[in-house]
Each structure stands twice: as C-alpha cells, then as structure tokens.
Amino acid sequence: MELDLLGERRRTHHCGELRKAHAGQKVFLAGWVARRRDLGNLIFLDLRDHTGVVQVVLNAEGSPEAHAKAEQVRSEFVVGVEGEVVPRTAGTVNPQIPTGEVEVNGQTLLVLNEAKTPPFPIEDETRTVEETRLRYRYLDLRRSRMQQNIRLRDRSNQTVRQHMAGHQFIEIETPFMTRSTPEGARDYLVPSRVRQGQFYALPQSPQLFKQLLMMAGFDRYFQIVRCFRDEDLRADRQPEFTQIDVEMAFPLRDELFEIIEQLMEKLLALVEVKAPRPFPRISYGDAMEKYGSDKPDLRFGLEWRRLELPDGKLNAVKGFQAAKALRVPGASTKISRSQFDRYQEILRQQGASNAAYLTLSEAGIQSRMKNALGDDGLQAIAAAVGAESGDLVILVGADSTARDKVHSLDEASGWLRLELARKLELIEPGLWSFAWIVDFPMFAYDPKEKRFAAMHHPFTSPREEDLAKLESDPANVKALAYDLVLNGQEIGGGSIRMHRRDIQQRVFKVLGLSDEKARERFGFFMDALEYGAPPHGGIALGVDRIVALLAGESSIREVIAFPKTASAVDLMCEAPSPVDANQLWELGLVHHYEAEHCDCGGLWVFEYEDVDRAPSVGAPPEVSCPVTHDRIARPYSRRWGAKHRATGSHGWAMVREFS
C-alpha cells in the first residue's frame, strides 16, 4: 500500500498520557497499532507507544479518507493520527486502561509504515517460548513489561550515577582490551593482528585498573562497566554482564558499607520498597553454620545449629561424626516419610553422610534414632534446638569432622533449608532482606590442583591480626572481604586490598605464584605497589541481578536488552559466527593448511596434522590439492580467502599451539 510521509509533523502527546483534561484538544499522535476493531463504517484502533495505549476512532461519515486508510491498517503498522481528544460517553468508558475515559477522534490518518504479522503477539502476558522472543528481540522489547524493565534499569543507572557523584566518586572508563589474568574465570580473548600469536583479554572486571586509579590519586572512582567471563551460563549468569564498580582510597569499611546501603535504599525506592537498615553483618563462618550458605536468604528463620551431645552418643552413630540440627516449628506432620527419603537422597548427593528427623508431639518424641540414642538422647537434641511439641527437628551429619566434609555438610544443610522454605511456603512476599557477609577465609584449598586459591581474588588483604600465620596456617587466615546479599542472592562483593608490595608478594607465594610468574603476569602492578600505593578498597555490585530483583524477574535475561542463550549464543544476530578465511589468516590464527576441492567447486583450506609441513607465520602458504596433488599455482592470498568463505559443513580447524 502507499505510505505517507511524516513530513514536519511532531507528536503533541504520547498515547498513554491522554486524560479527560485533554478533552477538546487537537493532537497528533504516532505509534504502533496494537489492535484494530473494524465495525464496518466505524473502526477503532488501539494506538500504542511506550507510554501506553489510547483508542482512536475512525468514522466513515466524519472522516471518510482516514476511515478508508484504517481499513488497510493491520497490527504493528506504524501510524500517525491527527484528531481531537473527546470524552467517552457514559456507557463506552473503558476502566481497564488509564486513557479509558477519552478517545481520539481521528481526522487524518498517516500510514508511516507497514508491518508483517509478528511471530508472536506484542502483549504483556506472553507465553511464547524464550527462543522465539530472543530471535525477534526487537519485537519482544516492544512489550510493555520489557519496556518497563529496561526503563527501570535506566533509572537504576541514573540513581547510581547521581548517588556516587554525590559522594565525590568520579566515573572513569577503563579498557576493554586488556591483558589476560591467570586467576579466576576463563577470559574471552581478542587476537592481535599486529602482533600475531598474541591476544588481548576482555576484562573479567576492571580490578587492577581501579586499584591503579587509586595509586594514581583518584581517591574515589566508580564505573558502570561491562565485564566478561567465558564460563557456563545460568539464569543469573551471562557471558557479559554489568557491574557497578567502586573503589576508594583510605577506606573505612563501615563508610563504604554506609554509602552502598544508602545506594541500595535509593534503588529499592524506585520500586517503592523499603528494607531495614543497617544491614545485618554475618561472618562467613556463622553463615555457613546457621544457613549453610555464604549467601543466606534471611527472609525466613530456620537456623541450623552444630550439635554435639555431651555423652558422645550421637557422634557414635555412623554418619554423624559431625552433626547439625534444625528446628522446624510446627512442622511435625508436614514432611512425610517418603518426602524425607527423597531429601535424604539429595542430601547424600550433596555430601552429607546421614540424615534423620525427630517429630515432637504430646505423646513424646518419635524418631528412628530412638534405639541408638534413647529417649534422653532425643530429649537432649530437642532441648539443644529449643524444640517444642508440634515441631520437627532435622539432623544431618558427616562421617568425619574434616574441614571439607563439614563444608559439604554445611552446603547440603543450606540446600535443605531453602527446600523446606519453599515446601512450607515460609517466604512472605514483599520481604526484602539484605546482609553483609564478612570475615571470609582468605584461601580455599583446591584438592584437585593441590594448592590454595584466593577465595575472593589475589589482591584482597588478609586481616592484620592474621598476617603472622599467612604462611604457617593459610587455611585459617581471614580476608578483609565482604559480600552483599539480597534475598539469598549475591549481588555484590569486595574487599580492602593489599597496598603493600611485601604482603602482596607473600600472598602470591601462598597461591603458588613464583616471583617470576607474578612478575610476568602482574609486573606492572607489583611496580605500582612500590610507588606509593595508598590503602584502598572497594566493591562491585551486579547491575543485572539487582535490576532483576527490583523488576521481580527470576532471570537476568529479562532486564538485558539483548541477552545470550545458555550456550552463549545471540539468537537474533546469530553470534558467534564463522568468519572470512582472510580474517583468520590476517590474525595469524590459521597456521597450516590442506586444500581440498569442494562440491561447490571452491577450495577449502584445512589444518595440516603434520605440523612440520606447516608454513611459517607471516608467509602465505603454498597449497596443493590432496586429491589431484596439483600444486595450486597461486599462493594462498587474502583475495582467495575472501572468495572461499569458511562456512558449511567443513568448518575451520584452528591451531591450538603457537610456535
């Protein structure tokens, strides 16, 4: 159909803002057709923009031209409407939409663009599978729910900038093309063309840069910054994600906490929510003991307690050498035996060795442990957790008191705590519960690699009082690290850093990083520590997770405009994708080749298995066809590469080793 031009027309209003007060005004609106209701000589259009929907009436009598055009219009057409706002008559008011008391009497209709029928309806309540939504993300984002989410994210960012600026933090950009770091997650790599065989890494976080900014005297820095990690995805994990990165020199931990708590208060206010302040502080040890998690959900009770009976009877039972108990008030009849058997199975998988339960009633305490412990044993357990008639008491145990066994036991107990909260519906909606988790261990022992790894990251300072045992007893050194937890989700973490080179060097040593290795990887950073590094520390907050919580979404994909799937694929633009052969050659990523005639008549170039036959980097290889053994007269060139794209079933073989 013939399209109209917008010309010099400007919108006078947005669709969603029209009210009774606008009655009588002549307006020009523009937007998408959400719905058309054609009654013959009378056509209604629901016109939508990001502010909402308003009803436009086209009457064949009053404005025959506009009405005729409206007959051609379909869903998602882009139209402009000139007309008059009129109040609706008594019986025709629509109380379901904010603009329902008025409608626009359309006098002129401009069809600015046509639209194919969308693959799914552009409605708030979509049950369309995420795959389709992601493939047509630009349509998905038209839905008002997504509009609200993305706009909430914007307001969150604005709040952050305003708040941080108010506390004299300045925003400084740090590089995306940087150096690979050994600790932590896998890096995304960017090959260098000018220095073949060498790579930039996308930052997992701007950690070193923000510390260097402190050394540079910038005092208070923040940045809303993209970070990259090449690890497997989850509902709350994307390969690229956004952090509010914060660092300050001469830090007082409590001052930083105060600034962040105020910020969180302002962010919650965006969705009209309040959380009690100050946020409770829980040591890592307590969190693991009581909640079985370093990110405890404090919206409900249920606290585990370590259990040791004075007579040692319990610890004599197989699988209860280390034991904890949990009182579940009023739940004595709520968990069936078969239900508990299922729990027990999962607890075992998670590393607990045994589990049992006690039910308390007027009739006394029932448990399969009765034979082993006797009535007084059961009484002692009930007393230890303060259980009363009607309560359920759950025991979990490990078959040794070794650190890693107890740790697994703690994690299993944490799983059960969350499971019980779900099952018994203990989480009251509308509750928001923050906590600071503090006093993390400095190191975590990695039994596979047989070495200590930094629990937070290798630049975290140990507590001063633990410095003496850094080498002698690393497992018991606590770090000046902290996490911020909201409703059982980790939304941020940080630490006071080391600003002294001698201590940094000692920590590297514990981590098994030799002087040479450390120098090779962080030489510049070690140097910087020697030129007057101030005490400093900071935190990084997860924007995606925070906004998802604010928006009430369970996946961070719902608050990211263009997210990736669980296999790190962008379904819309189909990234990652194969690249032109000449791009690979230019980057020095393909070192040795074999050539083969393809069905298409083109030439496919493959990796040699025999590395000795590989041409050296920098010189285009001469290739021959393995079928005919004819030498290709012309050496491989960029022009050829461009001609024979590296797509199709053959794909490309990449070289893993570099000479």
Partner RNA sequence: GGGGACGUAGUUCAGCUGGUUAGAACGCAUGCCUGUCACGCAUGAGGCCGCGGGUUCGAGUCCCGUCGUCCCCGCCA
Least Å distance between CB 455 and RNA?
Answer: 5
Cβ-based nearer residue to RNA, 235 or 402: 235
Q: Does 178 bind RNA (CB under 7 A)?
A: no
Shortest approach of RNA to residue 521 CB, angstroms?
15
> Does position 131 bind RNA by CB under 7 A?
yes
User: What is the rounded CA–CA span in Å between residue 609 and residue 637?
Assistant: 21
Nearer to RNA, 88 or 167 (CB): 88
Beta-bridged to residue 200, according to DSSP, are 190
d(CA 289, CA 291): 6
44 near RNA (CB under 7 A): yes
SS3 526: helix
Rounded Cα distance, 347 and 360, in Å: 23
Site for RNA in 45-64 (CB under 7 A): 46, 55, 57, 59-61
Among residues 440, 452, 604, 636, which is the contact residue for RNA, using CB under 7 A?
A: 440
Q: Closest CB to RNA among 185 and 224?
A: 185
Considering only 23, 27, 78, 185, the residue that binds RNA (CB under 7 A) is 185
Cβ closest to RNA, residue 287 vs residue 322: 287
Q: In sequence order, what are the residues at sequence separation of 6 or more whose Cβ sits closer than 8 angstroms to the Cβ of residue 117?
A: 74, 75, 76
Whether the Cβ atoms of residue 243 and residue 542 lie closer than 8 Å to each other: yes
Contact call for residue 569 and RNA (CB under 7 A)? yes
Does position 233 interact with RNA (CB under 7 A)? The reply is: yes
Bond from prior residue into 441 cis (ω within 30 degrees of 0): no
Please report whether residue 423 would count as binding RNA according to CB under 7 A. Answer: no
Any alpha helices (H) in 317-473, and if so which ranges? Answer: 337-349, 370-385, 403-423
Under the binding rule (CB under 7 A), the answer on residue 294 touching RNA is yes
Residue with tokens 């209604």: 44
Given its phi and psi angles, is residue 487 left (phi above 0), alpha (psi -120 to 50 degrees) or beta?
left
Query: CB 368: neighbour CB atoms within 10 A?
Result: 10
Q: Indicate whether 187 belongs to the interface with RNA (CB under 7 A).
A: no
Measured N-to-C along each axis, helices 144-166 and 543-551 cross at an angle, to the nearest 10 degrees, of: 130
State yes or no: residue 573 binds RNA (CB under 7 A): no
Candidate segments 180-188, 216-224, 330-338, 587-595, binder of RNA by CB under 7 A: 180-188
The span of 107-115, 224-232, 634-642, 645-653 binding RNA (CB under 7 A) equals: 224-232
Asked whether position 120 contacts RNA by CB under 7 A, the answer is yes
Task: Give the C-alpha separation, 44 to 46, whole Å.
Answer: 7
If phi > 0 it is left, if psi is from -120 to 50 it is alpha, else beta; for residue 3 that is beta
Helix (H, G, I), strand (E, B) or coil at 538: strand
For residue 552, give the DSSP letter: T
Give yes or no for residue 78 binding RNA (CB under 7 A): no
Structure tokens at 267: 């962010």
Please check whether residue 272 is in contact with residue 561, taking contact to mean a CB–CB distance below 8 angstroms: no
Identify how many contiguous H helices and E strands the chain contains and give both numbers: 16, 24
Distance CA 173, CA 206 (A): 9
Among 9, 19, 35, 521, binds RNA (CB under 7 A): 35
Q: Least distance (Å) from RNA to the CB of residue 337?
A: 24
Establish if 493 lies at the interface with RNA (CB under 7 A). yes
Classified as helix, coil or strand, 255 is: helix
Does residue 204 interact with RNA by CB under 7 A? yes
Report the residue count for the chain.
659
Nearer to RNA, 71 or 515 (CB): 71
SS3 of 452, please?
strand
- Contact segment (CB under 7 A) with RNA among 126-134, 285-293, 511-519, 645-653 equals 126-134
With contacts defined by CB under 7 A, name the span among 97-105, 211-219, 500-508, 514-522 that binds RNA.
97-105
Is 292 a binder of RNA (CB under 7 A)? no
Does 149 sit near RNA (CB under 7 A)? no
Among residues 80 and 563, whose Cβ is nearest to RNA?
563
Structure tokens at 143: 């839905």
- Position among 2, 7, 96, 601 found at the interface with RNA (CB under 7 A): 96
Nearest-5° Cα angle at 581, 576 to 586: 100
What would you report as the CA-atom Rg of the chain, rounded to the nearest whole angstrom? Answer: 32
Identify the DSSP state of 182.
Answer: S
* DSSP run (H or E) holding 209: helix 207-215
> With binding defined as CB under 7 A, does residue 305 bind RNA?
no
Q: What Å distances lie between residue 184 and 180, 207, 455, CA to CA?
A: 11, 12, 10
Give yes or no for residue 121 binding RNA (CB under 7 A).
Answer: yes
Q: How many residues bind RNA (CB under 7 A)?
A: 68
Contacting residue, 127, 337, 450, 639, with RNA by CB under 7 A: 127
In this chain, which stretch among 212-220, 226-234, 265-273, 315-323 interacts with RNA, using CB under 7 A?
A: 226-234
Residue 577: CB minimum distance to RNA, A: 12
List binders of RNA among 312-371 (CB under 7 A): none
277 near RNA, judged by CB under 7 A: no
Q: Are 623 and 595 in contact (CB under 8 A)?
A: yes
Q: Looking at 147-155, 178-186, 254-262, 337-345, which segment touches RNA (CB under 7 A)?
A: 178-186
Positions touching RNA (CB under 7 A) are: 35, 37-42, 44, 46, 55, 57, 59-61, 74-75, 88-89, 91-94, 96-97, 100, 103, 117, 119-121, 127-132, 134, 183-186, 204-205, 229, 231-237, 294, 440, 448, 455-456, 481, 483, 490, 493, 540, 555, 557, 565-567, 569, 571
